[in-house]
């Protein structure tokens, strides 16, 4: 999935109170100096405790540090300061998801697209949460909408299939798979063929391990993530768990889909312990 980040500068126009502090935090965020950004935000919030944008920026910084509990509190405080600051609502949904709080994440994303309907087509993160919530028909529709935004994303096609297969049948889902072309990430073309029943699962890792140098680290992650989802879709729990565990370990720490793998692996571990 292609995550279009919130540009930090988007929270700055029209802001007058504490503009210098906001700019300093923004600059630290742009440089991925997340600890510095948190410290600067702490100091600024002490002076302007009702500034929703400062809490929001600190939430982004805490997310960068993978402290999602702290980020969640920041987005909560941002919304308390200004309930109409909808970016914080959306980012709170992502923080809730990363903490495994699916119900809360779904509620945040639902409210966000209700309040900002223009964001519905591109909100694939909501589609993923809908899958985990068992709201498969809505998830299918969300991914169909994203197809109009980005038609070369195999991941969108796979999640559409996963939702469709649960909402209807795998046969119907396979017959209605979205037309995806041009995804250059290795081994995504083969992953899509696998879900179509046209490529052997045991060949996916072979393709991933031959990825060009610029993709040699991320390709095995994608392979294990989608092999895990594939085996889960055919009810092979053992292989699903094996691949998802590897995906959770290989997923980049600053990558949303890496977090999807880690959240999914946590779910599988909890199910196994029951």
Question: Mean pLDDT across the stretch 201-205?
Answer: 98
Q: What are the pLDDT digits (tens) for 209-267?
A: 999 999 999 999 999 999 999 999 999 999 999 999 999 999 999 999 999 999 999 99
| Better-scored residue on pLDDT, 152 or 273 | 152
Asked if residue 12 has pLDDT above 70, the reply is no
pLDDT at 193: 98
pLDDT at 7: 43
Q: Please tell me the distance from the alpha carbon of residue 135 to that of residue 267, in angstroms, as a whole number.
A: 17
Residue 82 banded pLDDT, cuts 50, 70, 90: very high
Q: What are the pLDDT digits (tens) for 163-178?
A: 999 999 999 999 999 9
Question: Mean pLDDT across the stretch 27-36?
Answer: 97
Residue 9 banded pLDDT, cuts 50, 70, 90: very low
Determine contact, residues 79/93, Cβ cutoff 8 Å: no
Question: Mean pLDDT across the stretch 202-206?
Answer: 98
Question: Mean pLDDT across the stretch 8-33?
Answer: 77
Mean pLDDT of the chain: 94
Question: Mean pLDDT across the stretch 99-112?
Answer: 99
pLDDT at 8: 45
Q: Please tell me the distance from the alpha carbon of residue 256 to that of residue 267, in angstroms, as a whole number.
A: 17
For 66, list phi and psi in degrees, rounded to 5. 65, 25
pLDDT at 15: 53
- Least Cα distance to 274 among 237, 226, 247 occurs for 237
Q: Please tell me the distance from the alpha carbon of residue 182 to that of residue 247, in angstroms, as a whole number.
A: 24
Per DSSP, 5 falls in state: P
Determine contact, residues 194/202, Cβ cutoff 8 Å: no
- 240 Cβ neighbours under 8 A, 6+ residues apart: 228, 229, 231, 232, 268
What is each CA distance from 108 to 79, 247, 265, in whole angstroms?
A: 12, 27, 23
Residue 11 banded pLDDT, cuts 50, 70, 90: very low
pLDDT at 2: 61
Q: In this prediction, what percent of the chain has a pLDDT beyond 90?
A: 91
pLDDT at 271: 83
- 228-237-224 Cα angle (round to 5): 15
Determine contact, residues 8/29, Cβ cutoff 8 Å: yes
């Amino acid at each position: 999935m292609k995550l279009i980040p919130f540009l930090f500068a988007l929270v700055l126009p029209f802001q007058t109170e504490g503009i210098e502090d906001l700019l300093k935090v923004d600059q630290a965020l742009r440089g991925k100096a997340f600890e510095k950004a948190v410290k600067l935000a702490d100091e600024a919030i002490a002076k302007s405790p009702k500034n929703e944008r400062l809490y929001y920026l600190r939430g982004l910084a805490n997310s960068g540090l993978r402290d999602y509990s702290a980020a969640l509190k920041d987005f909560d405080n941002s919304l308390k300061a200004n309930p109409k600051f909808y970016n914080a609502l959306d980012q709170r949904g992502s923080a809730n998801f990363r903490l495994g709080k699916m119900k809360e994440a779904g509620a945040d994303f639902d409210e966000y697209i209700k309040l900002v309907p223009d964001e519905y087509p591109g909100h694939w993160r909501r589609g993923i949460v809908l899958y985990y919530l068992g709201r498969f028909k809505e998830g299918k529709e969300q991914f169909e909408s994203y197809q109009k935004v980005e038609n070369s994303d195999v991941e969108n096609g796979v999640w559409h299939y996963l939702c469709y297969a649960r909402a209807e049948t795998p046969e119907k889902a396979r017959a209605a798979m979205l037309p995806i072309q041009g995804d250059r990430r290795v081994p995504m073309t083969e992953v899509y063929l696998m879900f179509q029943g046209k490529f052997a699962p045991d060949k996916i890792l072979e393709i991933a391990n031959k990825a060009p140098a610029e993709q040699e680290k991320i390709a095995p992650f994608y392979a294990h993530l989608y092999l895990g989802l594939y085996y889960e879709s055919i009810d092979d729990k053992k292989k699903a768990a094996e691949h998802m565990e590897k995906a959770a370990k290989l997923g980049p720490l600053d990558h949303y889909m890496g977090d999807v793998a880690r959240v999914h692996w946590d779910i599988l571990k909890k199910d196994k312990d029951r």
